[in-house]
Structures are given as structure tokens and as C-alpha cells.
Amino acid sequence: MAEVLQIFVGGVLLGAIYALIALGFSLIYRVTGVVNLSQGGFAVLAALAGYTFSQRLGLPLPIALLCAVGGTTVVGLAIGWFTFVPALKKLSNANVLMLTVGILTLIEGFSLIVWGSQPYSVPAFSGEQPLEIGGLRITTQTFWIIGTAIVIFLAVWFVISRTKVGKALRACSENPSAAALMGINVKRMTLLSFTLATLIAAVAGVVVAPTTTLQFNTGQLFTISGFIAVVIGGISSFPGAIVGGLFLGLVTQFATAYVSSLFSNAIALILLLFILIYAPTGLIPSKITRRQDVREEPRVWGHLTRLAPQTAWIAAAVGIVIAVVVPLVIPAAYISSLTIAAIIFLALIGLDLLMGYTGQVSLGQAGFMAIGGYTAGYLSINYGIEPVFGIAAGVMLSLLSALVLSIVTLRLRGLYLALATLAFGLLIDSCAIGFIDITGGPSGMVGIPSFSVGPLYFDTPMSMYFLVVAVDVVVLFCLFGALRTSFGRALQSIRSDQMAASALGINIVRYKLAVFMISAALASISGSLLAYSFNFLAPEMVGTARSLELVSMLVIGGEGTLVGPVFGSVLLTMLPTIFQPLAMYKTFFSGALLILCFLYLPRGMYGVIAHAMSRVSTPKTVANSQGLAEGGAQ
């Protein structure tokens, strides 16, 4: 009994932490309709800053924590001001979600530069000696955390339900355009909710810090747990955040105690998938309904980047020539890195099809890379199977997983889809780490043979490079064929307006399924090739961090452009190799570039290049002639 109680207290503690992060999600979601995945990043930023102020600079604890929380909130305010708020006007919800991935990456990159990659542990506020209450041993920090959580919940409840600002916030969540008409400054309210959420995350971060080890990328875990909690509870209701947080905390604690810590994650994720299937609006759904026949996202986000056919063919030929010549002229040491870029590009092509063309956010694409890589590696090591069949087996398994996942996700859109794929990626992550007998666990799978087809061996970096480039080119050629005709138009219509697309008789489910399958297969092949090319595979090579990196590469290269992501892939893979000392800045820059591209270069590097090329080839005028202007006046 005492044991159960002990676990229960642990669960409540964990639940309070999750609920705090979840509260921030819900606050922003209610006002803007989007989720801010950078939440956890701010928590860790505040915690690490608190560590520096109190342990390094020797400030008294209350002052140090106050500075940390204050500083983080100001940073949050600035980031909200310069990125989040303008993005809401320009980008679709799915892209704002990805932008917040960029913010998270930026914060992690910043932490990596300042604090390095080593773990930190922070002393408890009131000593390490636990209290004994009725046979239970409870650490003093538990009281701090639960107390803080209660204070914050009460404060938020008070602000929302009793003050004028709260009333304005509520008006925004019910109907932003009506609120604007009533004279409420929706932009300011958005910024306010973003800053408030940062503040809550920062407070949560500093009080939680003593109970965990902190690292530059711990923020991801906070974000993910908070996100799961908020979806379980119901994203647009505050009680939902609390219920979801506590529920998730208790489930994870009991699962850790009675099953195993490895599977506690898996259980949380399976729980989440069940909720997504059976109660997609969460345990405590809100009553807000929206008119469906008016477009929800009137923002102009579509951009037209078209190359004239001749220009495109010439560019393609030039591209292939460059791809062939570059490895012959660069130092041999860089070739394997170039190979990696080409391998990752394969996964990016699939992701572009899924995200760029069809508008389906996937944050778990590396999960399929893991399936492909481990399946192929395992079969080749243990059964000496031909690599081609190893790749095929990986693709089969990936397609199967994708099919199962689709059954869940096809009914979901935007946010929930992103979450389901994230959960999938994490599930695969924990399997890769947990099934040590098969995958080699955290230390990785060793002894994977090089790729070969019959008597042909691709065991030098150069040969592997040309193999991968050939695969890339064939895949690009096929997809380009489909994307330039009705297949591509159907995807783009689905991306921008599902209702109008279905009113024209386009089978949305079929196309989403097809695209999801193609992207899973490509990611899987990419994972297998990665394994064969390194002769080694470790969980972090194909983990959630990779999934997020893929998103950055895609956006930087140019989403919805098919070939654009190659620039993102080459840039983010090659630069750290060429400028070794800069490697630690990579995360920071990929986050910053992602944000900048979203805000200023909607078609990424591809857009810049294509624009320059079409300038050179055809000085074309855009439609703004007389007839058009007259047509507009009624």
C-alpha cells in the first residue's frame, strides 16, 4: 500500500510538471489555434540559466531564479514578437507548427553553444533530505513543484476568468475575427499568451530542474510530454491540461514501477494513440465550433515558383553534371559526408511530397528510417541476406507500419497528425534503444556489411555515392512525372483546400494514403542505405532529433519544390564537416535558418535560385494588367 502511495505521489509530481507545460500549450492554442512546440525549450533554458546564476555566479537562489525566469520571459517575448506573431499572419497552421519546431531548435542550439552537451544537475531548493510522512519518503522539491503548480493554476484561472485581459483572451479564442471587430487587439493578445506561456514554462523549468538532469536538448522531452498531456486532456480546455498532465504522470509512473521503465514511454504513447483514435478531442473536449464552409486559413501562403520547361531540363542536366563532378574534385575525406547528404535527400524527397505538396506535417519521419535501417542491417548481419532484399524487407515493414499509422492519422489533421507521427517516431526510438538483442541498444548495431548487388560491391565512399545519386535521380524523375500532371495538382489542391478539392471529386483519403506510403518507403530506403554506408547504425542517427532536422532541411532547401531539399541537406550536412569548429553551431543555425526561411524565403534556397534562373531565361511579367484591375472593381 505504502508502495502504491509512493508511486502515486511520484505520479502526481510528474503530472504537475506535465500539466504546467500543457497549460502553456493550451493558452496559446486557444488564442491562435496553433501549438507552440518550443514550450519545453524555454523551460530548459530557464533551468540552465538558473544553474549558471546560482551555481556559477553565486547569486542567492531566489534572485538567481528570478533572473532566470525574467530573462527567459524576455527572450520569449522577443521571439514571439519577431517570429511567432508575424508568422501567424503569413503561414498556414501546419507551417506555424513547423516554425515552432524551428524555435525549439534555435533554443536548443543556443543552449548547446552556451552550456555544451554535458548534463547538469541542480541542487534542490531546500536540501536533499526527504521528509517522512506516514511512511512515505517525499523529497522537499516535490512540495515546491506541486505548490508552484497550484499557485500557477490558480493565478491563470484568476486572470482568465476574473480580469479584463482574461475576457479579451477568451473572446479571441472563441472568435478571433469577432474579437477584432470588438476592438480587441488580437495581435497583442497573441503576444501576451505567448509570453505568458513562456513565463509558465520558465517557472516550471526552474522548479523542476533539481529533479532531473538537464541537457541542451532536454526541452524536447518536456515539449513532447506536455504535448501528449494536452492532447489527452483536450487541447482547448484548461482543466483538460491539468487532467491530461496528471493522467499521463500517473500512467507513466505506474508503468515504470510495474512494467519497466523502457516500456513506460511505449505505454504512454499507446495510450495517446488510443485517445487519438477514440476521443480525438481529448478527455475534456471544449465546446468551440467553427463554421466549416468558410476557409479557415485565409492567409496567403501559396507561392508560385515555376520554371519554364526548357529551363527546368537545362537545370536538371546541370544539376546532374554537378553531382557527378563534385566528388571528383573535392577532398576524399568529404565524400562520405556528401554521400550522407545524398542519402538523407532521399528521405527528404518523401517528406517534401508529404509536407510540401500535401500539407501533412510529419515529425516522425526518422521512425521509418530506423525501421529500414535496422531491418536491413539485422537481416544482413544475421542471415547474410542480399542488401537489396534487406532494403525491400525494410520497405515492407515500413509500409505496414505506415498503413497502421494511417488508420489512426487519416482521420486526423494538422496538429493531431503531427502529434501522431511524433508519437510514432518516439515509439520507434524507444524500441531501437530497448530491444538490445536485435538493435544493439544505445551503443548501436555494428558489423553491417557494405551494400552489394551480386558481385558488385559498393564498399568505397565514391561507389556508394554514385549509387545513391543514381537512386535519387531515378526517384526524382518518377515523382516529377507524377507531380507535373494530375497527381501533383490533386496533392496541391488537398494541401490548400481539402473541402474545395473534395467538392471537385478528388479522393482525399486515397491521395493522402498514397503519399504517406511513398514517403515512408523513401525514408525506409534512406535508412537502409545509411546503415549500409556507415556499416553501423545507432538510435540517434535515426531518432527524433533526425526527424526534426529533416524538417529544418526541408524548409531551408525549399518545401513543395521536390529538388529544393537537396540544398538543405547538403548545407546542413557538409558545412559542419568542412568547418569542424563550427559543428556546435549547427543546431542553432539550422533553427535560425528555418525561421528566416519561413518568414522571408517561403520557397527556401530553391526559391532564390529558381527566381534568379527565371529572371535570366524569361523576363516575364506577372498578371497585373489593365483587365485584371478592372475586373476587381465592381
Partner 1 sequence: MSQDLKQPNGTDILRVDGLSKKFGGLKATDGVNFSVQENSITALIGPNGAGKTTVFNLITNIFPPDEGTVAFFGKQIAGWSPMDIANLGLIRTFQSARVFPGLTVLENVMVGRHRLIKSSDFGQMLWSPESRREEMRIRSQALAMLKIVGLERFKDAHAVDLPMGAQKLLEVVRAVMGSPRLLCLDEPAAGLNDTETEELAALLRAIRAAGISILVVEHNMSLVMNVADHVVVLDAGRVIAAGSAAEVQRNPQVIEAYLGREQNAAA
Ligand X SMILES: Nc1ncnc2c1ncn2[C@@H]1O[C@H](COP(=O)(O)OP(=O)(O)OP(=O)(O)O)[C@@H](O)[C@H]1O
Residue 482 contacts residue 275 (beta carbons within 8 Å): no
Give the count of beta carbons closer than 10 Å to the beta carbon of residue 221: 17
Beta carbons within 8 Å of 179's beta carbon, 6+ residues apart: 168, 171, 172, 186, 189
Tell me how far, at minimum, the Cβ of 180 lies from ligand X, in Å.
Answer: 18
What is the x/- site pattern for ligand X, positions 245-284, by CB under 6 A? ----------------------------------------
Strands 120-121 and 213-214: antiparallel
What are the start-end ranges of the E strands in 360-422?
none
User: CB count, 10 Å around CB of 73?
Assistant: 21
291 makes contact with ligand X (CB under 6 A): yes
Closest distance between ligand X and the C-beta of residue 293, in Å?
A: 6
382 touches which of ligand X, partner 1, none (CB within 5 to 8 A by kind)? none
The amino acid at residue 286 is S
Choosing from 30, 414, 495, 561, the residue that interacts with partner 1 (CB under 8 A) is 495
Site string for partner 1, 294-333 (x = CB under 8 A): xx----xxxxx-x---------------------------
The only residue of 444, 497, 574, 611 in contact with partner 1, by rule CB under 8 A: 497
Name which of 291 and 620 has its Cβ closer to ligand X.
Answer: 291
Q: Which is nearer to ligand X, 287 or 291 (CB)?
A: 291
CA distance 567 to 580: 19
What SS3 class is residue 543?
coil
Residue 506 binding partner 1, by CB under 8 A: yes
Which of helix, strand or coil describes residue 598?
Answer: helix
**In angstroms, rounded to a whole number, what is the distance separating the alpha carbons of residues 247 and 183?**
39
Q: Is 481 in the site for partner 1 (CB under 8 A)?
A: yes
129 contact partners, CB below 8 Å, separation of at least 6: 140
**Taking CB within 5 to 8 Å according to partner kind, which of ligand X, partner 1, none is near residue 514?**
partner 1
- Count of residues that interact with partner 1, criterion CB under 8 A: 50
- Containing 26, the helix (H) or strand (E) segment is helix 2-32
Residue recorded with cell 546503415: 531
Of 514, 578, 584, 599, the one binding partner 1 (CB under 8 A) is 514
Measured from the CB atom, is 287 or 620 closer to ligand X? 287
**With contact defined as beta carbons under 8 Å apart, do 186 and 56 qualify?**
no
The answer to whether 333 and 503 are in contact (CB under 8 A) is: no
CB of 602 to ligand X, least distance (A): 31
Q: Contacts by 171-180 with C-beta closer than 8 Å and gap 24+?
A: 172/30, 172/31, 173/30, 173/31, 173/236, 173/288, 174/288, 176/31
Q: Quick one: what does residue 626 bind among partner 1, ligand X, none, with the CB cut-off 5 to 8 Å set by partner type? A: none
Residue 456 touches which of partner 1, ligand X, none (Cβ within 5-8 Å per kind) = none
State how far the Cα of 380 lies from the Cα of 377, in Å rounded to an integer. 5
The span from the CA of 568 to the CA of 343, in Å, is 13
164, 290, 293, 384: which one binds partner 1 (CB under 8 A): 293
> How far is Cα 357 from Cα 353, in angstroms, rounded to an integer?
5
The reply to whether 502 sits near partner 1 by the rule CB under 8 A is: yes
629 touching partner 1, by CB under 8 A: yes
Whole-number minimum distance, CB 290 to partner 1, in Å?
Answer: 12
Cβ proximity to partner 1, 584 vs 613, nearer residue: 613
Count other Cβ atoms within 10 Å, centred on residue 195: 19
Q: Give the shortest CB-630-to-partner 1 separation in angstroms.
A: 7
Residue closer to ligand X, measured from CB, 288 or 628: 288
> Counting Cβ atoms within 10 Å, is residue 354 exposed (0-12), middle (13-18) or buried (19+)?
buried
CA pair distance 186, 188, nearest whole angstrom: 5
For ligand X, the closer CB: 118 or 292 = 292
Q: Compute the least distance from the CB of residue 289 to ligand X, in Å.
A: 7
- Least distance from partner 1 to the Cβ atom of residue 623, Å: 3
- Quick count: other Cβ atoms within 10 Å of Cβ 326? 15
Which residue's C-beta sits nearest to ligand X? 291
Could you tell me the smallest distance in angstroms from the CB atom of residue 634 to ligand X?
Answer: 16
Q: Which of residues 451-480 bind partner 1 (CB under 8 A)?
A: 478-479
How many residues line the site for ligand X (CB under 6 A)? 2
Distances (CA, A) of 291 to 27, 86, 256, 288, 427: 22, 25, 43, 10, 36
Smallest distance from the beta carbon of 171 to partner 1, in angstroms? Answer: 18
Among 373, 414, 560, 568, binds partner 1 (CB under 8 A): 560
Shortest Å distance, C-beta 603 to partner 1: 10
Rule CB under 6 A: say whether 292 interacts with ligand X.
yes
Nearer to ligand X, 292 or 624 (CB): 292
The type of residue at 441 is: G
Quick one: what does residue 302 bind among ligand X, partner 1, none, with the CB cut-off 5 to 8 Å set by partner type?
partner 1
Angle at 593 between CA 592 and CA 597, to 5 degrees: 120
> Alpha-carbon distance 534 to 520, whole Å?
21
Closest to partner 1 by CB, 67 vs 475, is 475
Q: Binding residues for ligand X, per CB under 6 A?
A: 291-292
Q: Binding residues for partner 1, per CB under 8 A?
A: 292-295, 300-304, 306, 478-479, 481-482, 484-487, 489-490, 492-493, 495-497, 499-508, 514, 560, 620, 622-625, 627-634
